[in-house]
């Protein structure tokens, strides 16, 4: 039997009459709470409180495992044992795998089995678990879409929309899934802008964990400086790049209680995939940097870049080693910075430079992959456009921080 | 004497007005201390440490929420503000308690894997941040949440029992 359009609608009405109950929807306390979390006047203070909770949880949780147990395990047991049993003390193999024979902590030894393992397991693992656990709870309660609504107006100023907050927050864990998450944005312009901005300005969870160890009192300043750079260069990119930034409609789900099983499953999936990407690069990074050091290449490169590093950025030439390592792992580079003798403003500048400097190789590969969606043109846009933005940012934003120190009289 | 609904909300209004004024005052004090880089200790309470400015800012907003909710307190929108003000205090106090618990378990830098009993107990000794003291006072909001929820439930049941059959969500 074939029905006409009108007959179909009549049938729908008849079924609806039988199964749908009509009534007045009662506005409940839950709805009122949901409303005030998206209104800027009340939503922004609540967002500040939530972000405060986020940071406090991150610091307490990661500190409990890292400072409470893992530092002791690595420094008091693992390092002395390795220094004792590893053959060929003073040889190049020893240097690559165990690092400095005189080191009394894994942070400064800089061997594959000491620093690299300590960074990956001792510092990064607790930081990443803390980060993703809190993020998943925010996701599953329904707070994240509300945050997206809240920041929509601000992000519109730089040609993005509220949903861009999702890759932004994700990249605080790891830039790789965050670059993938830019696919949720509407246009090619928005996707490119977001991918480039987060790869340059947003430090990953691993890097944050190390930053809390190396410059504990200055992490807030560094984050604010990077965030300011994100918006300034976002604004410039929005004006320079052709393309549209359309409006979108956001579906905001009701608040709900997170289910423990879902939280643990998501946490396991994210931590597992992060480690598949991170660990090989951390180990490889230490091997490459140590080889470059042993062959004298790093010293040559440091001398070559000395005028730029010392003259423009005001940091010691030895920072060239961490900058090379930053291409493989930024967390590793920040850890390496702590072993170089310099003043606190120089250390903070170096940390900012490592953050702004070339994205880590995993993120870089992901950027190229995203560009491939647009064929050869897309790849060249992501590669050369990204590089252009990066060079401008590192010189301008990296140089500006030195100017700030000069104005404050501390440089 | 059994209190009626209006009386209960009137008591809540006065209670949260006083609490709001206290929370706002502490928030302003913490913000000023945070900006000037100073600390303050009074008996078993202290205003110092990391994120003092942020804690002050959050308490300032929480106090403002409480105070702005006292007019027409029984209205659901106003109560929502009271709930969120309390949640903001719970976040600060909860995170402080959480970090105290985590810090009390491992031994010190030079100590063993786990803390001694003395060290464990010492981790919980005074002074405490103001939000810890505000926490129990902010819990009264749970009573009002329960009150409103039971009312919502009753209204829902009344609508369900009406012969017209209306009342469900579309």
Query: pLDDT tens across A262-271, in order?
Result: 999 999 998 8
Element (H, E) at B45: strand B45-47
- Residues of chain B neighbouring A33 (CB-CB closer than 8 A): 80, 83-84
Tokens representing B162 are 């009406």
Residue of A283 and A36 predicted with greater confidence: A36
Q: What is the pLDDT of residues B63-93, one digit of tens each?
A: 999 999 999 888 999 999 999 999 999 999 9
- When pLDDT is cut at 50, 70 and 90, the band that residue A207 belongs to is confident
Q: What is the pTM of this model?
A: 0.81
Structurally, how many domains does chain B consist of? 1
Q: By the CB < 8 Å criterion, does B53 face chain A?
A: no
Confirm whether B52 is domain-assigned: yes
Any domain includes B168: no
3-state SS track over A106-129? HHHHCCHHHHHHHHHHHHHHHHHH
B84 within domain boundaries: yes
Instruction: Give the phi and the psi of residue A326 in degrees, each rounded to 5.
Output: -60, -30
Please spell the DSSP secondary structure of B123-158, one letter per residue.
Answer: TTPSPB-HHHHHHHHHTTHHHHHHHHHHHHHHHHHH
Ordered by start, the domain boundaries in chain A are: 23-408
| Residue A23 in contact with partner chain B when CB distance is under 8 A | yes
pLDDT attached to residue A25: 76
Interface of B with A in 119-148 (CB under 8 A): 145, 148
Contact yes or no for A410/A345 (Cβ under 8 A): yes
The conformation of residue B70, written as its DSSP 8-state character, comes to: S
Q: Do B58 and A49 touch (CB under 8 A)?
A: yes
H or E element, residue A304: helix A297-306
> What Cα–Cα distance (Å) separates residue A239 from each residue in A96, A160, A387, B25?
47, 12, 18, 45
Residue A314 near residue A282, CB atoms below 8 Å: no
Residue of B23, B54, B142, B147 to mutate when probing chain A, most A C-beta within 10 A: B54
Which among B61, B94, B113 has CB closest to A45? Answer: B61
**A77 contacts chain B (CB < 8 A):** no
pLDDT tens sequence across A139-187: 899 998 898 888 888 888 888 888 888 888 888 877 877 887 788 788 8
- Nearest by CB to residue A68, choosing from B58, B106, B168, is B106
A137 touches chain B (CB under 8 A): no
CB contact under 8 A, A33 and B77: no
- Mean pLDDT, range A317-323, rounded to an integer: 82
Give the structural domain span for B137: 5-152
> pLDDT band for position A261 (50/70/90)?
very high
Q: Which residues of B touch A27 (CB under 8 A)?
A: 76
| Residue B161 covered by a domain | no
> What is the pLDDT at residue B165?
44
Distances (CA, A) of A28 to A234, A254, A357, B156: 40, 12, 50, 11
Q: B137 pLDDT band (50/70/90 cuts)?
A: very high
Predicted confidence band of residue A251 (pLDDT cuts 50, 70, 90): confident
Contact list, A64 vs chain B (CB under 8 Å): 102-103, 105-106
Using the structure block, give the residue that is written with the tokens 């005052």: B25
A21 touching chain B per CB within 8 A: yes
Closest residue of B to A27, CA-based? B76
Compute the 3-state secondary structure of chain A and give helix, strand, coil in percent, each to the nearest 5. Answer: 80, 0, 20
Contacts 24+ apart (CB under 8 A), A225-229: A225/A352, A225/A397, A225/A401, A226/A201, A226/A202, A226/A352, A226/A355, A226/A356, A227/A201, A229/A200, A229/A201, A229/A356, A229/A393, A229/A397
Any CB–CB contact under 8 A between B102 and chain A? yes
| Those residues with Cβ within 8 angstroms of residue A259's Cβ, 6 or more apart along the chain or in another chain | A140
Q: B165 in a domain, yes or no?
A: no
| Residues A300-310, mean pLDDT to the nearest whole number | 82
Q: How far apart are CA A55 and CA A63, in angstroms?
A: 12
Of B81, B103, B156, the CB nearest to A36: B81
Q: Among partner residues B95, B106, B148, which is closest to A56 by beta-carbon distance?
A: B95
Is the Cβ–Cβ distance between A112 and A96 less than 8 Å? yes
Residue A26 to residue B155, Cβ atoms within 8 A: yes
pLDDT reading at A299 higher than 90: no
Would B13 be classed as within a structural domain?
A: yes
Is 90 exceeded by the pLDDT of residue A22? no
pLDDT at residue B159, rounded to an integer: 66
For position A328, what pLDDT does the model report?
A: 67
Three-point CA angle A18, A24, A26, nearest 5°: 130
Distance from C-alpha of A312 to C-alpha of B22, rounded to nearest angstrom = 51
Question: What ipTM was estimated for this complex?
Answer: 0.90
Tokens of A71: 């530092």
What average pLDDT does the segment A1-7 reach? 83
Query: Whose CA is closest to A305, among A288, A292, A318, A322?
Result: A318
- Residues B9-61 pLDDT 10s: 999 999 999 999 999 999 999 999 988 888 899 899 999 887 899 999 999 99
Express each pLDDT in B95-107 by its tens digit: 999 999 999 999 8
* Whether pLDDT at B164 is above 60: no
Q: Do B105 and A55 touch (CB under 8 A)?
A: no
Tell me what the mean pLDDT of segment A359-382 comes to. Answer: 77
For the segment A98-141, what is each residue's pLDDT rounded down to a tens digit? 888 888 888 778 888 988 888 888 887 888 888 889 989 998 99
CB atoms within 10 A of CB A11: 11
- Contacts of residues B146-155 at CB distance under 8 Å and 24 or more positions apart, as own/partner, are B147/B5, B147/B8, B148/A29, B148/B76, B148/B79, B149/A29, B151/B5, B152/A26, B152/A28, B152/A29, B155/A26
- B-chain CB neighbours of A69 within 8 Å are 106, 113
Chain A residue with CA closest to B111: the answer is A72
3-state secondary structure of A202: coil
Q: Does B111 touch chain A (CB under 8 A)?
A: no
- For an interface test with B, the pick among A40, A44, A45 (most B C-beta atoms closer than 10 Å) comes out as A45
- Residue A237, CA distances (Å) to A28, A157, A198, A376 in order: 43, 11, 13, 21
Asked if A50's CB is within 8 angstroms of B80's CB, the reply is no
Nearest to A310 by CA among A349, A336, A359, A357: A349
Of B57, B95, B105, the CB nearest to A68: B105
Q: Is residue B158 pLDDT above 60, yes or no? A: yes
Nearest chain B residue (CA) to A20? B170
Q: Any CB–CB contact under 8 A between B84 and chain A?
A: yes
CB contact under 8 A, A36 and B84: yes
Tokens, residue A180: 């993938």
pLDDT of amino acid B37: 82
Closest CB to A53 among B91, B102, B166: B91
Q: Which residues pair with B46 in a beta bridge?
A: B41
- The answer to whether residue B163 is domain-embedded is no
Dihedral Cα B6, B9, B11, B15, nearest 10 deg: -170
Residue at B75 is within a domain: yes
- Pick the range with the lowest mean pLDDT from A207-211, B87-91, B122-126: A207-211
On whether the CB atoms of residues B143 and B105 are closer than 8 A, the answer is no
Task: Give residue A104's pLDDT.
Answer: 85
CB B50 within 8 A of CB B86: no
């Amino acid at each position: 039997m074939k029905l006409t359009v009108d007959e179909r609608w009549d049938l729908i009405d008849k079924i609806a009459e039988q199964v749908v109950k009509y009534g007045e929807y009662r506005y409940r306390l839950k709805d009122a709470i949901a409303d005030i979390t998206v209104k800027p006047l009340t939503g922004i203070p609540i967002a500040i409180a939530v972000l405060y909770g986020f940071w406090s949880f991150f610091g307490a949780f990661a500190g409990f495992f890292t400072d409470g147990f893992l530092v002791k395990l690595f420094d008091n047991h693992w390092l002395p044992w390795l220094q004792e049993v590893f053959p060929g003390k003073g040889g190049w193999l020893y240097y690559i795998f165990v690092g400095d024979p005189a080191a009394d902590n894994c942070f400064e030894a800089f061997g594959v089995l000491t620093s690299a393992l300590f960074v990956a397991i001792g510092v990064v693992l607790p930081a990443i678990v803390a980060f993703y656990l809190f993020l998943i709870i925010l996701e599953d309660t329904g707070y994240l879409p509300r945050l997206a609504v809240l920041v929509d107006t601000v992000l519109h100023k730089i040609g993005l929309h509220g949903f861009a907050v999702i890759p932004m927050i994700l990249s605080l864990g790891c830039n790789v899934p965050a670059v993938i998450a830019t696919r949720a944005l509407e246009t090619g312009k928005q996707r490119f802008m977001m991918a480039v901005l987060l790869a340059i300005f947003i430090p990953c969870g691993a890097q944050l964990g190390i930053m809390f160890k190396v410059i504990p009192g200055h992490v807030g300043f560094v984050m604010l400086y990077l965030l300011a750079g994100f918006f300034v260069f976002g604004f410039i990119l929005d004006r320079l790049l052709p393309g549209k930034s359309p409006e979108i409609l956001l579906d905001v789900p009701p608040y709900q209680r997170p289910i423990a099983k879902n939280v643990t499953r998501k946490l396991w999936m994210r931590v597992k995939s992060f480690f598949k990407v991170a660990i090989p690069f951390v180990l490889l990074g230490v091997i490459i940097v140590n080889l470059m050091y042993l062959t004298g290449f790093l010293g040559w490169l440091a001398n070559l870049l000395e005028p730029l590093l010392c003259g423009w950025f005001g940091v010691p030439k030895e920072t060239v080693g961490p900058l090379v390592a930053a291409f493989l792992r930024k967390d590793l580079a920040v850890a390496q910075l702590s072993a170089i003798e310099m003043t606190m403003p120089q250390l903070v500048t170096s940390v900012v430079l490592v953050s702004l400097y070339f994205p880590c190789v995993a993120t870089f590969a992901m950027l190229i992959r995203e560009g491939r969606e647009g064929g050869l043109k897309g790849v060249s846009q992501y590669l050369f456009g990204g590089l252009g933005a990066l060079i401008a940012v590192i010189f301008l934003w990296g140089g500006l921080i030195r100017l700030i120190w000069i104005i404050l009289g501390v440089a | 004497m059994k209190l009626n609904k209006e009386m209960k909300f009137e008591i809540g209004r006065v209670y949260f007005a006083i609490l709001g004024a206290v929370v706002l005052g502490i928030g302003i004090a913490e913000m000023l201390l945070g900006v000037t880089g100073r600390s303050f200790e009074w008996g078993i309470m202290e205003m110092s440490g990391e994120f003092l400015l942020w804690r002050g800012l959050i308490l300032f907003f929480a106090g403002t929420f409480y105070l702005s909710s006292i007019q027409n307190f029984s209205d659901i929108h106003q109560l929502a503000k009271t709930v969120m003000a309390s949640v903001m205090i719970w976040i600060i106090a909860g995170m402080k308690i959480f970090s105290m618990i985590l810090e009390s378990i491992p031994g010190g830098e030079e100590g063993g894997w786990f803390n001694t009993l003395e060290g464990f107990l010492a981790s919980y000794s005074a002074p405490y941040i103001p939000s810890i003291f505000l926490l129990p006072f902010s819990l009264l909001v749970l009573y009002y949440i329960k009150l409103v929820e039971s009312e919502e439930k009753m209204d829902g049941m009344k609508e369900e029992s009406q012969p017209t059959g209306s009342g469900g969500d579309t």
